[in-house]
Amino acid sequence: MTEPDRLRELADEFGTPLYLYDLDRLDDARRDLFGWLPEEFEVFYALKANPHVDLVRALRGGEGRTCRAEISSTGELAAALEAGHDPARILYTGPGKTPGELREAIGLGVRLFSAESLGDLEHIGAAALAQDAVAECLLRINDATAQAATGVRMTGRPTQFGIDSETLADLAPRLRSVPGTSLAGLHLFSQSNATDEDALIAEFRHTIDVAARIEAELGVPLRLLDIGGGFASPYGQHGRRTAYPNLRAALEAALDTRFPQWRQGTPRLAVESGRYLVGDCGTLLASVTNVKTGRGRTFVVLDAGINTFGGLSGLGRILPVSVRPGPGGAAETRRVTLAGPLCTPGDTLGRDVEVPADLGPGDRVAIPNTGAYGPTASLLMFLGRPAPAEVVVRDGDVVSVSRIEHVRTYRKVAGEHD
């Protein structure tokens, strides 16, 4: 059966909108990423890209090197634990960890945290002390300088993320002495989606230099150094994941210079990735519900909008998507605006998107590279429309079918009338 035929069969069986996740493609991405890195590196999978348990489980298990979990909420923690992750090996990150979340995470066995500020470190320590535990903490650093010019910049400006590097020398005594914590190392994440390998290498070299300098300023040996990510993969458009064939040698050379004992595990090294690992395993299938032409522009209305895929597209940040028509599409094409079904002009997936000229109601389209930042990164509950089905396959066979349900729960309030 050809791929278009298989997509049509799944859409017929489970309806649209529908996400299809192919675990074989996920395995390929994991294998590729580990292949670009020195063997000593660990990889944290950022669950914010896609917390679907079957994907998280596949990245943890399988043949070859496997991924640890990086989470930023107790909801993601639940997904990681369901997928079989050891809580002691999970990295908990994020600038807004609440006392309740920290209490729950530590109670469930999480012991590794990324601290975004002195205050965040103190909150982690207080939660650990309350449960007679010690939290291993990485200090997330917001470096004042940066090297790369591509991707999304994450450092060098005021932000809620990380401790400003120029303040570390003065803060070092307080950071070293927070009760309930032990400084395990550093967490530096400076950019996202670097499509240029030279730029990514330059950024990692700079990060390693910064880490070596900070180790001296803190007066604490680094046991774990997370140098972040930035590995690029297309989002909702045709294309392939970026290759990084020179990255391994460049990292080895930089580490040999700044951390000569790294091959013996001092420090241990890690990177993190979300979209690179899961992005191209996903395809979003949608049906055309209407075609409307007005004032010189044609609108193709789909049953999938910003409630289904990438709610940030409504802010103009991820336009345009590209689509693959279903089997039998016409050779001639036209350019249209792809709109979703929501009652808001912000529900736009793409402008000037090339589609078959005869695309009409009842036809289906496939949006590629949608394994990352799909349903859980969308305006899922806006207007109360059903969430899309999510179908996971391996070797062409369906592994699971699921759908996120919108449920409002009520709590009895004292004195409330029946």
The residue count for the chain: 418
Give all domains of the chain, ordered by start, each with its CATH number.
37-273 (3.20.20.10), 280-403 (2.40.37.10)
The pLDDT tens digits for 365-395 are 999 999 999 999 999 999 999 999 999 999 9
The per-residue b/e assignment along 9-21, b for 16 or more CB within 10 angstroms, e otherwise, is ebbeebebbbbbb
User: pLDDT-based confidence at 190, cuts 50/70/90?
Assistant: confident
Encoded tokens for 306:
């910003």
Please tell me which residue, 12 or 62, carries the higher pLDDT value: 12
Which pTM does this prediction carry?
A: 0.92
Span 263-287, average pLDDT: 97
Span 305-316, pLDDT tens digits = 999 997 655 454
pLDDT of residue 314: 47
Catalogue the E-assigned strands of 348-396: 348-356, 364-367, 389-394
Q: What is the pLDDT of residue 156?
A: 47
Please, what is the end-to-end C-alpha distance for the chain in angstroms?
A: 58
The reported pLDDT for the residue numbered 311 is 64
Structural contact between residues 389 and 13, judged by C-beta atoms closer than 8 angstroms: no
Residue 324 CB neighbour total at 10 angstroms: 17
Residue 69's contacts (CB-CB under 8 Å, 6 or more residues apart) are 44, 45, 47, 56, 60, 76, 80, 83, 85, 89, 90, 91
Predicted local confidence at residue 151, as pLDDT: 46
Residue of higher predicted confidence among 416 and 415: 415
Q: What is the pLDDT of residue 169?
A: 86
Q: State the chain's mean pLDDT as an integer.
A: 90
**DSSP string of 281-304, one letter each residue:** GEEEEEEEEEEEEETTEEEEEES-
Q: Are the CB atoms for 320 and 44 separated by under 8 Å?
A: no
Q: What angle do CA 63, 187, 134 make, to 5 degrees?
A: 90
Residue-level pLDDT at 312: 58
pLDDT band, residue 155 (cuts 50/70/90): low
